[in-house]
Amino acid sequence: MSRRPKIQRMVVFKHGVAYLERSGPADGPFDLSFDKDEMNDVLKSLVAWVEHGEGRVTSIAFEKPEDPALALARRRLDVPVDGAWVGLFTSFRGRRVRVETKDGVAAEGEILGFEDVPTREGAARRVVLRVADDRLAMVALEDVVGASLLEAATRADLALLVDRTRAGTAGDRRAVTIRLDGRASDLRVSYVVPAPVWRVTYRLALVEGGARLSAWSLVHNPVDEDLEDISLTLTTGQPVSFEIDLYHPRSVRRAKVQENDRALAAPPPAYASALPPASRSADVRPGAAPAPMMAPPLPRGGAGSSAADTPRGLEGALGGAPDAAETGANRGEFFEFQLPMRMSLKRGGAAMVPLFSARLEARKERIWRQGAGESPDLVLTFENRTGAVLEEGAAIVYEANVYAGEAMVPYRARGAEVKVGYAKDLAVRCRRGETYRQTVSRVALGGARGLVEESRAELWIELTAESDHAEEVEVIFELPKIQGRSFAETSQQPFESTATHHRFRLPIEPRAWGVLEIVETWPERRRLEFSHVAVSHLENWVQGRVLERSLAAALAPVLELWTKAADLDHTITGLERARASTLETQKQLTAQLSVLKEAGPEGELRVRHAQELAASQDTLSRLQAELLGVSTERDRIRREAEQRLATLPAG
CA distance 15 to 101: 63
pLDDT score of 172: 66
Phi, psi (deg, nearest 5) at residue 450: -175, -175
CB 264 within 8 A of CB 367: no
pLDDT score of 496: 93
CB 357 within 8 A of CB 391: no
CB 355 within 8 A of CB 388: yes
Query: In 511-557, which ranges are E strands?
Result: 513-529
**What number of other Cβ atoms are within 10 A of residue 463's Cβ?**
22
Q: What is the pLDDT of residues 314-369, one digit of tens each?
A: 666 666 666 654 555 555 456 788 888 898 999 999 999 888 899 999 999 999 99
pLDDT score of 6: 93
- Name which of 287, 61, 263 is nearest 174 in CA terms: 61
DSSP-assigned states of every residue in 460-473 = EEEEEEEE--SS-E
pLDDT score of 292: 30
- Name which of 263, 477, 508, 512 is nearest 377 in CA terms: 477
Check residue 390 and report its DSSP letter: B
pLDDT score of 193: 92
Residues 6+ apart with CB under 8 A from 122: none
CA 132 to chain centre: 75
CA distance 117 to 124: 5
Residues 6+ apart with CB under 8 A from 381: 362, 363, 364, 365, 417, 418, 419
CA distance 241 to 40: 12
3-state SS, one letter per residue, for 585-629: HHHHHHHHHCCCCCCHHHHHHHHHHHHHHHHHHHHHHHHHHHHHH
**What number of other Cβ atoms are within 10 A of residue 340's Cβ?**
10
CB 121 within 8 A of CB 112: no
CA angle 33, 229, 218 (to 5 degrees): 85
CB 459 within 8 A of CB 502: no
Cross-sheet strand order for the sheet of 473-480: 417-424, 377-383, 362-368, 473-480, 501-508, 496-497
CA distance 174 to 29: 16
CB 640 within 8 A of CB 564: no
Q: What is the pLDDT of residues 223-252, one digit of tens each?
A: 989 999 999 999 876 666 666 666 666 656
- The string over 259-285, giving b where at least 16 C-beta atoms fall within 10 Å of a residue's C-beta and e elsewhere, is eeeeeeeeeeeebebbeeeeeeeeeee
Residues 6+ apart with CB under 8 A from 78: 69, 72, 91
CA distance 396 to 202: 6
Residues 6+ apart with CB under 8 A from 516: 462, 463, 464, 465, 477, 492, 504, 506
CB 329 within 8 A of CB 339: no
CB 35 within 8 A of CB 171: no
With residue 326 as reference, give the H or E element that holds it.
helix 324-327
Q: Exposed, middle or buried, 54 (CB in 10 Å: 0-12/13-18/19+)?
A: exposed
- Name which of 392, 433, 444 is nearest 548 in CA terms: 444
Question: C-alpha distances in angstroms, 209 versus 50, 295, 381, 476, 548?
Answer: 55, 9, 13, 21, 64
CA 300 to chain centre: 40
CB 108 within 8 A of CB 136: no
pLDDT score of 65: 61
CA distance 649 to 641: 15
- Name which of 233, 237, 215, 442 is nearest 319 in CA terms: 215
**What number of other Cβ atoms are within 10 A of residue 377's Cβ?**
23
CB 72 within 8 A of CB 78: yes
pLDDT score of 287: 34
Check residue 223 and report its DSSP letter: S
pLDDT score of 314: 61
Question: C-alpha distances in angstroms, 99 versus 103, 144, 296?
Answer: 11, 7, 85
3-state SS, one letter per residue, for 251-279: CCCCCCCCCCCCCCCCCCCCCCCCCCCCC
If the chain, 651 residues long, is cut into consecutive pieces of 10 residues, what is the mean pLDDT of each piece?
Answer: 85 88 92 86 90 89 68 70 77 85 85 81 81 84 84 83 68 81 92 91 90 92 92 79 64 54 43 64 34 32 37 59 56 70 91 90 94 92 90 91 91 90 94 94 82 92 96 96 94 93 96 96 90 85 88 87 89 93 89 81 82 89 93 91 80 53
